[in-house]
Amino acid sequence: MTHPNRQTRVALITGASTGLGETLAEFLSGLGWSVILTARTESDLAVVAKRLTDQGGTVVALPGDVGEAAHRERLIAAATTLGRLDWLVNNASQMGVSPIRPLLDHPLTSFEAVLRTNVVAPVALAQLALPLLKETGGLVVNLSSEAAVDVFPCAGIYGASKAALDQASRIIAAENADSGIGVTLVDPGGIRTRGYEEAEPGFDLTGVPYPDVTLPFWKWLIERSPGEVNGQRYLAQAGPWDAR
């Protein structure tokens, strides 16, 4: 179903109050997309929402925890109100306790919270978003990490969660290959963000690029059809991406 007055593309971006999520929100909003943004800390989200709105963007900012079912339903309801959903970007992520520590020293409550944010919530949001994404031929973009595939001591909880997200994404991609939607994994590479700083306090991040280093990738991805990128995993800092 196409709404004649609802042609503006819509992205739902989780974890959009800072870091990569904020950069992607600003990029898509600048292209004229409407953006639905979420993060738990209302004040941080409000700063981003105000800036994008002042720049002329259409922004729906909904603070809350993607680990909570009621909040996820609110987010998808916002897309329904806007009339469509083109990209669901599962970017919100946690690494567990700060500083990161060995897996067997990690509190299990934190392990469960990381899995809820990094794995359960993206799958749950994709479940809820599926009907809207089918209408637009939309894309689910799940943010992965090198920690999903390589062994980084002290990043075990995070790495396990991202490995699970990788596999879940590939399976959803295969299961919906004929539905017109796409499911894509993106490893942004090391980027200088609050999350990185909190994971390893004191670690020298000089030389680590800011999230806008990934903009060429997003410019490329936005031009792809869902079928082209369905089930693929991209390294955002390592183009050209067609060859993968």
Report the interface residues with ligand NAP, using CB under 6 A.
14-15, 17-21, 38-41, 44, 65-67, 91-94, 117, 143, 145, 187-188, 190-191, 193-196
Instruction: At 111, list the tokens.
Output: 């392990």
Q: Which is nearer to ligand NAP, 177 or 205 (CB)?
A: 205
How far apart CA 106 and CA 157 sit, in angstroms, is 8
In the bound state with ligand NAP, the residue whose beta carbon lies nearer, of 126 and 136, is 126
Q: How far apart are CA 52 and CA 49, in angstroms?
A: 5
Q: How far is the CB of 231 from ligand NAP (least distance, A)?
A: 19
Q: Which C-beta is closer to ligand NAP: that of 180 or that of 209?
A: 209
Active-site option among 158, 196, 210, 234? 158
Alpha carbons 190 and 199: distance in angstroms, whole number: 13
Q: What is the nearest approach in angstroms of ligand NAP to the Cβ of residue 173? A: 18
**CB 48 to ligand NAP: min, Å:** 9
Q: Is 158 a catalytic residue?
A: yes
DSSP 98-150: SS---GGGS-HHHHHHHHIIIIIHHHHHHHHHHHHHHHHT-EEEEE--GGGTS
Phi-psi region of 42 (alpha: psi -120 to 50; beta: other; left: phi over 0): alpha
Residue 13 vs 132, nearer CB to ligand NAP: 13
Q: Which residues, listed in sequence order, are joined to residue 139 by a DSSP beta bridge?
A: 87, 182
Question: Among candidates 43, 51, 64, which has minimal Cα distance to 25?
Answer: 51
Give the Cα separation of 124 and 130 in Å (integer). Answer: 10
CB of 144 to ligand NAP, least distance (A): 7
The residue (of 39 and 78) whose beta carbon lies closer to ligand NAP is 39
Cα dist from 237 to 25, 58, 88, 218, 220, whole Å: 18, 29, 21, 10, 12
| Least distance between ligand NAP and beta carbon 227 (Å) | 24
Residues with catalytic roles: 158
